[in-house]
Amino acid sequence: MSTAVEDLETEFSRIIGRETAAAQLDLIDVWPLLDTRDLDAAFPAYATAAQLVARDHEGAMIAAADQYLAELRDLAGVDDLGALARSLDISIEELLERLFQAGPAAIKSALAAGWSLERAVELALVESLGTMQKWLADLARARTFEHLQAEYNAGRTARWARFSISKRPCPWCRMMISRGPVYFNEQTASFKAHKHCRCLARVIYQGTPLQRDREAEYLAEWESSGKDLNAMRRADYAAAKAAEG
């Protein structure tokens, strides 16, 4: 049976997943603006539309993090620190540069490598969707860490741990999850996940469970691998090949 804290984490994850999925669908809608007959000339119109997509969803990401932290504090009997500024140091220009690399630059590279135009565009779209997902999820993460930094500055005891809503996170994320709630401030806790990563920040106040079954499972896996990420990657690859038959 889940606890109230776990229910909050599940809802936080659900909102993030819903918003990022909606943003990805919106990006698919504007993708045809990236005319493959002249990628460089077409990119500004596509970038403008993609920027509007990002702006349409960023407020929901910040609001989701604020709600999660407020309700978590309430459950822990911790006074709210009050509203934080809604500005975050995540640049829209950085997103547009990443979308250029994931779109036009990726298509050109794939064509130069001998891929068909259809396949090159398909691969670039997947990369672009991951880029949008990562940028928006980073907003929610950054907002959570902004709260954590405020807690730390106020002399509070909140900790952070990574958790994932993926069924099977990558080896790096499993290793990070295995560490549990060992981080105390933004300098040690903050992370920007990779594309298509579904990890978020789990915030722990005094009296909430410090370890979960998945953390213990991944810690055992990490130790049995000899604390070797490459060994975990090789094991994952072998398991995937075996599953293919």
How many other CB atoms are found less than 10 A from the CB of residue 153? 11
| pLDDT score of 243 more than 50 | yes
Give the model confidence (pLDDT) of 32-74 as tens digits: 999 999 999 999 999 999 999 999 999 898 889 888 888 888 8
The pair of three-digit structure tokens given for residue 233, joined into one six-digit string: 């990657």
Residue 198 neighbours by CB distance under 10 Å: 18
Question: At which residue do the structure tokens 């049995």 appear?
Answer: 224
Residues 123-139: tens digit of each pLDDT: 999 999 999 998 998 88
Tokens 């702006």 belong to 55
Percent of the chain with pLDDT over 90: 38
Instruction: Give all strands (DSSP E) within 139-182, no chain letters.
Output: 159-164
H or E stretch at 17: helix 4-30
Report the percentage of the chain scoring pLDDT > 70: 88
pTM of the model: 0.78
Please state, in angstroms and rounded to a whole number, the distance separating the CA atoms of residues 87 and 70: 18
Q: Are residues 204 and 210 in contact, defined by beta-carbon separation less than 8 angstroms? A: yes
- Greatest CA span in the chain, whole angstroms? 60
Instruction: Name the nearest CA neighbour of 57 among 130, 136, 144.
Output: 136
